[in-house]
Chain A
Amino acid sequence: MGGYLARRLAASAVTAFVASIAVFLIVRAVPGDVVAQMLGQVSDPQAAASLRGFLGLDQPVWIQYGRWISAVFSGDLGTSWTGGRPVGPAVFDAFLVTLEIGLLTLALATIVGVPLGIVSGIYEGRWPDNLIQIFNLLGLAAPVFWTGLMLLVAVSSFAGWSPPLIYASPAESLWDNLSILMLPILSLGLLQAAAYSQFVRQNVVTSLNQDYVRTARAKGVTIRILFFTHILKNILIPLITFMGLVLVQILGGVVIVETLFSIPGLGRLLISAIETRDYPMLQGALLVVVVTAMAVNLIIDLLYSVIDPRVRLS
């Protein structure tokens, strides 16, 4: 286990390094001249040249990268070009907000999606299954921005309420925090719950058709006992794998809900950094996204061995 972990961490470091080069180059591949954009339409060529020098953009790309990555290794993600604030703390604050949305969405999706999928699988082809399938279809077909917008408009028109617009952290006010995050989590969570439900249903149906299940049923084991002692254990591994995928998908979805609901998370930070071509901020935020995705994968892999002793991490 210890050796496995060390090897995985080393491999992750290499991946992160390669990813950092990709992130650095992708950011620079966004069309448009950052200096022109910062100075506006009628900028003075002299001012543009001096700003280019100040930002280090007059240096070759590999030197720019070297400077950036060596600063990253010493724990400094740089300073935002547009706002002048340090990137590290800004990305960290935004990350915490997004993490909260991600985990709560995952919890909602799991709590709603897994039971629905199990019921649907057990009652395959009968009315509870049909009803749940309709929910799944709607959840999967509706894009997040549409669900979010509809929820916002519906709540606003029928209840005359809309979420507060100044973000409050759970430490500042748990109530405000939850009322701000409720609609975004619902709109993201419904989609993921549908995906979950569909996935679990498929696994339950497959398990129910396995030989060992048929044998057990023939010997008189009730479906309830069979389900909790055998089937659930067997679908746990794919379920955990799926959970990792969902979490990474949520990281993508927050870009939309955070913009829609004015939440200062990583998604919104990324969007505004792209719009203003704020390279240091964009690089920092993307790097955090990449590292988070890798960390999620690593944790999932480690969980396998906890759940299923047959999986040897070596």
Chain B
Amino acid sequence: MSVGVQPSHPRRRRWRGAAQALAAAIALTIAALPARAATADLYGPKAADAVKGGTLTFGSLVEPPGLDPYHQAADGRIRFTVLMYQGLFYESETGQAVPLLATGYEVSPDGLVYTIKLRDGVKFHTGQPMTAKDVAYSYNYLRDPKNGSPGAGDLTLIQSIDAIDDATVRITLSKPNGALPMTLGNKYGGVVPAGYFDAADAKQAFNTKSVGTGPFKLAEFKPNSHLALVKNDAYWEAGAPYLDRINILFIPNSASMIVALRNKRVDLALLTRPQDIQQVVKAPGLVMERWPSLNQKALDLGSELSPLGDPRVRQAIALSIDKDEIMRAAVGGYGKVIGTMVPAMQDAWGAPLDQLANQKVDIEKAKKLLADAGHSDLKLTLTTINGYDWMDPAAVTMKQQLAKAGIDLNIQRVDLGVWIKNFQSKQMGFTFNDWATQPDPHLLYYRHFHKAPEGADFRNWNNAEASALLDKGLGETDQAKRKAIYVDFQKILAESVPTVMLFSADHVSVRNENVMNYTQHPTGWFFGLARAYIKK
């Protein structure tokens, strides 16, 4: 933690770097109980003395293209629709699936049948009560490829979803899937009334009327302007949410956002560029907070690009990189250096950093590896993406670092569309990448790193041992065993270097000092608005 204001809340100190293990141990003895209890809370900690009512104005640099939780893949959509639509489980901040519209579940001994009990007294925004029929309908719609949901791919292992009675659903799988509860979360879909999609204009209607079960209802959505949410008075959780209304303003320009924050036109916003954050850090009446994220800024090494197919070359590159220096250059210190796991999940799923290979700079070893591989005067071209501010300073810093090992780096920038095309056709080469995950190791790793055809294996890694571990992890439902499997996987990942996970940028929120009890979820989604209130 180098720059800026220190976090003030115990929960915000949940950085798990080795250097902070001692501090964490002390914190555990002093303030662990409330903090631990808080993490188990849905959407963030409840506030005993919350003031009810009021309107919060939220500034968003990103705009949702639409509000259809079934067909719209943009992260800008998910951030807001999680407040209106709910899945069976909640993606807890530490990487566990916590029952949301479910209350609990049982798994058959063969791991193929999940019997899920549903919460009682849940009503849709339309007023009708939610039953198992609605749940079965919603997830069956989501997983049917004919319906064209980008979320269908996560549910392919599901064979059937049936309503047993009003309060119970049974999900049958073709193969055990330890990540199933997490895929029944809030990213895609959400439970809607059975038959909802029978109406011809159902998809479009998501933009004018919400039909979920969440704490807020849609009041108005005006593209290129704003989104207004109002409190769901019939919400199933007693006393929640606290706010009457949230006005979300789309402000595409960060200079205008800063002016709006300073002038109190906006109560709360997330900022991404360090130079913007520094402008409001000292502004009177504003509070800046940093939160761990599920995001990773990575350097990908596609094996299709010679000589990156040689593991020695990849290892040499990893050994030449000082991640901390790159992080400071790229995001001004508002981030956390990582090994093979994103910070928010490090505790629950990450391999300890000291057990991972190729994490510390060792130029001599790098040079030797390159010489052994016959690439002492290696020339490489690094691809960066237009519009990703962090990549330019990171690329220049890395060029200097690699030069020490005798690697000459050329930098080329491409448009996002071009980059995605290369990425999907598995021609990514040597490139920076910026991606995030849902908080589950299977969802984080499988598609990216399992060999084809089961996984997409974007980096042409084609590692049988790693793929076998990913299969094993998928089939395991016991938490402790799952963790051990994924730790083994991470060791291979660090040793063989298909990717170098550089660092994770913090979520940085800036709020008016009157806005209380807001916590930022590591996904970047705005669950925390369901727990925020305005001090009178």
Contact = CB atoms under 8 A, between A and B. Distances in A.
A85 B207 contact: yes
Would you call the interface of chain A mostly helix, strand, loop, or mixed?
A: loop
A162 B57 CA distance: 15
Nearest to A47: B150
Contacts of A37: 416-417, 420
B289 interface: no
20 contacts: A31-B415, A33-B421, A36-B420, A37-B420, A41-B420, A41-B423, A51-B148, A82-B74, A84-B204, A85-B204, A153-B259, A160-B263, A162-B263, A162-B265, A165-B59, A165-B266, A167-B222, A260-B253, A264-B223, A268-B224
A278 interface: yes
Given A41-B420, A43-B73, A162-B263, A83 B223 contact: yes
A42 B421 contact: no
B348 interface: no
A262 B253 contact: yes
A276 B62 CA distance: 12
Nearest to B57: A165
A165 B418 contact: no
A32 B66 contact: no
B259 A162 contact: yes
A17 interface: no
A79 B456 CA distance: 32
A40 B207 CA distance: 21
B69 to A, nearest CB: 13
Given A152-B256, A156-B259, A166-B247, 15 more contacts: A40-B75, A44-B150, A47-B145, A51-B148, A84-B203, A85-B223, A156-B263, A160-B263, A162-B259, A162-B263, A164-B265, A165-B260, A259-B252, A264-B224, A272-B224
Nearest to A42: B447
B494 interface: no
B420 A152 contact: no
A94 interface: yes
A276 B145 contact: no
Interface string A239-268: 000000000000000000001111010001
A182 interface: no
Q: Kindly list the 7 A-B residue pairs having the minimum CB-CB distance in the complex, ordered from nearest.
A: A32-B417, A82-B65, A264-B224, A44-B153, A83-B66, A84-B204, A162-B263
B242 interface: no
A47 B153 contact: yes
Interface residues of B, number: 52
Interface in B24-69: 57, 59, 63, 65-66, 68
Given A39-B150, A84-B204, A268-B252, A165 B421 contact: no
B65 A276 contact: yes
Interface string B235-273: 000000000000101111101100110110110000000
Interface residues of A, number: 50
B423 A261 contact: no
A156 B63 CA distance: 24
A41 B68 CA distance: 19
A215 B251 CA distance: 60
Interface string A24-63: 0000001111101111111110110011001000000000
A50 B145 contact: yes
A166 B57 CA distance: 11
Interface in B184-209: 203-204, 206-207
Interface in A58-100: 79-80, 82-85, 90, 94
Contact of A43 (B57, B66, B150, B249): B150
A98 to B, nearest CB: 11
B81 interface: no
Interface string B409-420: 000000111101
A43 B424 contact: yes
Would you call the interface of chain B mostly helix, strand, loop, or mixed?
A: mixed
A268 B226 CA distance: 13
A161 interface: yes
B368 interface: no
A262 B423 contact: no
A152 B418 contact: no
Contacts of B175: none
Contacts of A54: 148
Contacts of B152: 44, 47
A269 interface: yes
B14 interface: no
Nearest to B250: A262
Contact of B417 (A36, A153, A268): A36
A32 B148 contact: no
B456 A42 contact: yes
Contacts of A296: none
B66 A33 contact: no
Given A31-B417, A260-B255, A40 B223 contact: no
Contacts of B256: 152, 260-262
A298 interface: no
A40 B424 CA distance: 10
Contacts of A271: 252
B148 A33 contact: no
B424 to A, nearest CB: 6
Interface string B145-165: 110111011000000000000
A4 to B, nearest CB: 39
B148 A47 contact: yes
Contact of A166 (B203, B226, B262): B226
Contacts of B57: 165
Nearest to A166: B226
Contact of B63 (A33, A34, A80, A272): A272
A277 interface: yes
Contact of B435 (A41, A149, A160, A278): A41
B72 interface: yes
Interface in B422-468: 423-424, 435, 447-448, 456
